[in-house]
Amino acid sequence: MEVQKEAQRIMTLSVWKMYHSRMQRGGLRLHRSLQLSLVMRSARELYLSAKVEAHEPEVPLPPVRSPDPRLHQSWEAEAVAEAAPPDGEQSSPEPMDTREAPRAEETPALCAPRPTKVSRKRRNSSLSDGGDVGLVPSKKARLEEEEEEGASSEVPDRLQPPPAQAEGAFPNLARVLQRRFSGLLNCSPAAPPTAPPACEAKPACRPADSMLNVLVRAVVAF
């Protein structure tokens, strides 16, 4: 758990550094961005492997659930349900999905306000597509992007990047950071843990994790 928290803290820190490096004179530095993305990738791997280890001893349950009961599920039940097969990659979409709805419902004050109904619908639709075999990261990234498009109007103003820097050499990165970062800061791990300790890190992990996937690509895709 400590490892998980530490890895997540490093991921958050890396995202912040990435965002901050855009503000520096001289523009984004390729070497620095590469180093930050390497650390983010290692942190993500560490986080995922630590999560898998943490859940391994628990009884595995069938991962298939309907979205509505998930909304009303208690945190404990959810934690047990997340003890999916040991394969880290396959289990991650499920916990991602389960966490999302309760988080949106139970911690509205902490996170960027997102219409739960809208997100639920979108998750269903993307899941039922069925065409997303493998490639967990892209699925998560797309999920987030669909939501974000719906919630973009609700992004808090306090994290508007300076207008002069909004566009530049790396417009895609700018947009990604603008959306992701605001969400991440609102769901910081420092928020009072209203949820049981087993899940307290999760509300913040979700945006960081998907952000990481997008960011890891965005970093070098300029």
Partner 1 sequence: MPSGTLAPLGSGSGSALSYWGPNEPHLPVSPPTADIISTVEFNHTGELLATGDKGGRVVIFQREPESKNAPHSQGEYDVYSTFQSHEPEFDYLKSLEIEEKINKIKWLPQQNAAHSLLSTNDKTIKLWKITERDKRPEGYNLKDEEGKLKDLSTVTSLQVPVLKPMDLMVEVSPRRVFANGHTYHINSISVNSDCETYMSADDLRINLWHLAITDRSFNIVDIKPANMEDLTEVITASEFHPHHCNLFVYSSSKGSLRLCDMRAAALCDKHSKLFEEPEDPSNRSFFSEIISSVSDVKFSHSGRYMLTRDYLTVKVWDLNMEARPIETYQVHDYLRSKLCSLYENDCIFDKFECAWNGSDSVIMTGAYNNFFRMFDRNTKRDVTLEASRESSKPRAVLKPRRVCVGGKRRRDDISVDSLDFTKKILHTAWHPAENIIAIAATNNLYIFQDKVNSEMH
Binding mask 131-150 for partner 1 (x = CB under 8 A): --------------------
Residue 167 lies near partner 1 (rule: CB under 8 A): yes
Asked if 190 and 70 touch (Cβ cutoff 8 Å), the reply is no
Contact criterion met (CB below 8 Å) for 213 and 141: yes
Choose which of 1, 109, 135, 169 interacts with partner 1 (CB under 8 A). 169
Q: Which is nearer to partner 1, 27 or 86 (CB)?
A: 27
Which 11-50 positions form the footprint of partner 1 (CB under 8 A)? 13, 17, 25-27, 29-32, 34-35, 38-39, 42-43, 46
Only one of the segments 69-77, 91-99, 145-153, 159-167 lies at the binding site for partner 1 (rule: CB under 8 A); that segment is 159-167
CB distance 182 to 159 below 8 Å = yes
Long-range contacts of the stretch 34-40 (C-beta < 8 A, 24+): 34/219, 34/220, 36/219, 37/215, 37/216, 37/219, 37/220, 39/10, 39/14, 40/10, 40/11, 40/14, 40/15, 40/212, 40/215, 40/216
Q: How many helices (H) and strands (E) does the chain have?
A: 11, 0
Considering beta carbons, is residue 86 or 168 the nearer one to partner 1? 168
**Beta carbon of residue 136, minimum distance to partner 1 (angstroms, whole number):** 17
Q: Given the rule CB under 8 A, which residues bind partner 1?
A: 10, 13, 17, 25-27, 29-32, 34-35, 38-39, 42-43, 46, 164-165, 167-169, 217, 220-222
